[in-house]
A and B are shown apart, each in its own frame.
Chain A
Amino acid sequence: MDNVIEISNLTKNYGKNRGVIDVSMNVKRGDIFGFIGPNGAGKSTTIRSMLGFLKYDSGSIKILGMDSVKDHVSILKEVGYMPSEAWFYGSMRVSEVIRYAADIRKKDCRAEAEKLCERLKVDVNKRIKELSYGNRKKVSIVCAMQHRPKLFIFDEPTGGLDPLIQKHFFDLITEYVEEGATCILSTHVLSEVNKYCRSAAIMREGRLTMLESPKIDDEEFLKYYEE
């Protein structure tokens, strides 16, 4: 099984503040990779460095065999990203946002988007500013999935989603992964890691440690969050 993500010695600082220190990790094709750790540990910094939002100080990131700096746009064609805060242009309708994302990708995603909206119960006629946090998250899921990417990156995806939609969301991930996709799941929810992840890593104070198994109990999980 080849690596979809290869991060070597990634270091990113925000001025004098610590971001991530010497992070190295590999994620294999077909994996659902759990990314856990306390707030401010560096999970989002790692993800944002992978996506090119942040310019890292040293190290290297390869995604799908491509360099994250040189092949930035090519990588994004194959990635579906859902940020922890799902914000869109308030005056646009849901259907317009979904089509906008597809148009920039130069792909006809109408069939897949329709399927996703039906399963996630997304009202495409509403304006973004009329949506609740949970409904904005659902739009974000559609935008991340409609082009059937090879790699999904979800940053705390289930916050604000009701239990039924959470189930549909994980069903969708499982289906896409069975078809050959890979998924990174940054989360604070232990049950998600235990139930869905095939491997996992913990981040604390900017450093990453791979876990032997994602099947962990409550006490062990909470230990990771202690000082």
Chain B
Amino acid sequence: MIIILKKELRLNIKAFLVWSIVVGGLGMACILLYSSMQGTMKDMADAFSNMGAFSDAFGMSTLSIATIEGYFATEVGVLHSLGGGMFAAILSIAILSKEEEGHTGEFLYSLPVSRNMVVAAKSLGVVILLVMFTALCGCLYALGFTFLGETIPVREFLIFLAGQLLLDLEIAGICLAISAISGKNRIGLGLGITLLLYMYDIIGRVVPSLKEYLFLGPYSYANASVIFSDGDISVGAYVMAACVLVAAVAFTFTYYDKRDLAS
């Protein structure tokens, strides 16, 4: 298992570095821009907080973008949650199917290793890469705060990163299940799922009748604006995330072990 895990980490290290540096680096750049925008931010914050549904959707009705916390939550929060979700989807949706798409399955599965072991090793590889992605991005954001001489709101910052990691794991779990079914890489589908889940959260915050169903989507508990404004995150959202993750992983193991592998 360790050998397959090491190979997966090695094969995906470039993608990990590119996504971490791009998302984390952009986030840090965004934070650094705060000082140059601080002067004009007050009027902008007032305008943004009075835009009705738009302000609700992006959390600007509860959080002022004139403060570093508000600025981080509305700008970097969106960037990270979308970037991280996309990275998780791209990484996970091809993790099993690439063996059939690239015709390497006949080599791998002719070696004395069970399919469950392969799924376990590859899944663990995805988890490790997502943890490293979150940690590296978190370090870059913290570096941004330090450069600006601003105090990091540690509690909210850690809850935000933990929420992002859970969001990425949930999307990765869904995409892993799709990868187990499909013999082809479905990167477009993975990205589509991420965007759809994000849009679901945005729409849910605008449409009053949908608000009570926000917990169904992973972006509800990972919403930086809610976290940084000390808003309540429904426990149901975490329970839902755990259920989806467990169901997706259980399905992957069960289904992949029973299906025919394409040559």
Contact = CB atoms under 8 A, between A and B. Distances in A.
B106 interface: yes
Interface in B217-263: 258-261, 263
A53 B3 contact: no
A104 B113 contact: yes
Interface in A82-116: 83, 85-91, 100-101, 103-105
B111 A55 contact: no
A112 to B, nearest CB: 16
Nearest to A90: B102
A46 to B, nearest CB: 13
Contacts of B106: 53, 81, 83, 85, 87
Nearest to B106: A83
Interface string A48-70: 10011111000000000000000
B109 A104 contact: no
Interface stretch (A71-79, A165-173, A194-202): A71-79
A52 B109 contact: yes
Q: What is the interface residue range for chain B against chain A? A: 20 to 34
Nearest to A51: B110
Interface in B68-111: 102-107, 109-111
Given A72-B114, A100-B7, A88 B109 contact: no
A100 B228 CA distance: 47
A26 interface: no
A70 to B, nearest CB: 12
A104 B108 CA distance: 9
A140 B108 CA distance: 12
A52 B113 CA distance: 11
Contacts of A52: 109
Given A44-B263, A100-B7, A87 B103 contact: yes
B3 A103 contact: yes
Contacts of A143: 107
A191 B249 CA distance: 50
Contacts of B260: 14, 53-55
Interface in B103-127: 103-107, 109-114
Nearest to A54: B260
A83 B104 contact: no
Interface in B122-172: none
A77 B112 contact: yes
Nearest to B260: A54
Contacts of B102: 87, 89-90
Interface of A: 14, 44, 48, 51-55, 72-74, 76-77, 79, 81, 83, 85-91, 100-101, 103-105, 140, 143
The list of the 5 closest CB pairs from A to B, nearest first, reads: A87-B103, A76-B112, A81-B110, A83-B106, A77-B112
24 contacts: A14-B260, A48-B263, A51-B110, A52-B109, A53-B105, A53-B261, A54-B261, A55-B258, A73-B112, A77-B112, A81-B110, A83-B106, A88-B107, A89-B7, A91-B11, A100-B7, A101-B111, A103-B3, A104-B3, A104-B4, A104-B111, A104-B112, A105-B112, A140-B107
Given A87-B103, A89-B104, 16 more contacts: A52-B109, A53-B260, A53-B263, A55-B258, A55-B260, A76-B110, A76-B111, A77-B112, A83-B106, A83-B110, A83-B263, A85-B263, A89-B11, A91-B11, A105-B112, A140-B107
Interface of B: 3-4, 7, 11, 102-107, 109-114, 258-261, 263
